[in-house]
Structure 1
Amino acid sequence: MKVKRHFQNHAWITLSQSFKIEEILTYLIQQLFDEVRQPLPQRVETMDNNNLKTVLKEFLRESRYVFILDDIWSIETWDAIKIALPNHNCGSRVLLTTCIGNVSSTSCRESHCYIYEMKAVSKRVFDFVL
């Protein structure tokens, strides 16, 4: 809870292997507007990629946000999403999860980031849990 209070805006998005950037941006906008109990912009469901990015950047302008993008499958997915996220040096953070090594390393090429590589879970752990 202490971490959450540090950020004005929060979102968690689980991605799929086949994604549509418009759907991801629309879902992100819905989460953010719901969190602050504001009505969604008119026709947000039918906006194109550029208009959705504009809405998102305007909403996040000068705010500190934390987003978790869970299960990113490709560099292209991250590249498509990060363009929509403003970086005003307000201390915002984006946490990515992926099973693909080059996605994590490539996502760090333009910023200071930390890669935490989890160890594989052995079958014995699953036997114990089940």
Structure 2
Amino acid sequence: MPPSAQDIMLIGGIPALISYQSPRAVFRGVFVGLNAEVDFFASTVAGLEPQGEAALRSFLKRCQCSQRSPLRLSDDGQKNYLLEEIYEQMAEPARRCGIDLYDVVREQVRAFQPGGGAGAPAILLSL
């Protein structure tokens, strides 16, 4: 069954909205909270994780080379990141699913840090 419009996959600690593109018969993920649109595609839900990891790594490398932050600032005029607001909205639904969102994020981010080794696998949340 295709993901609903509210399905979110956490990859590297960054949420991605998951949708099914029926004309192309592919799943599409779009990371949210980043300062650019970073999307990825796969023919199966299981295929989204490696494609998302590759897209996120490539984006983070481009940001590092250009010395810019990968995170988008919040629209409220504060020096907060949009990702912080997204985490706040996701924390309770994740808890209801038996997931500690912040533990998962910490474990996933580890794989994207130099010498960090393997991180936690991606998770799919239906909100």
TM-score between the two structures when normalised by the length of structure 2: 0.32
Greater share of residues in helix: 1
Looking at CA atoms only, which structure, 1 or 2, has the larger radius of gyration? 1
- When normalised by structure 1's length, the TM-score is 0.31
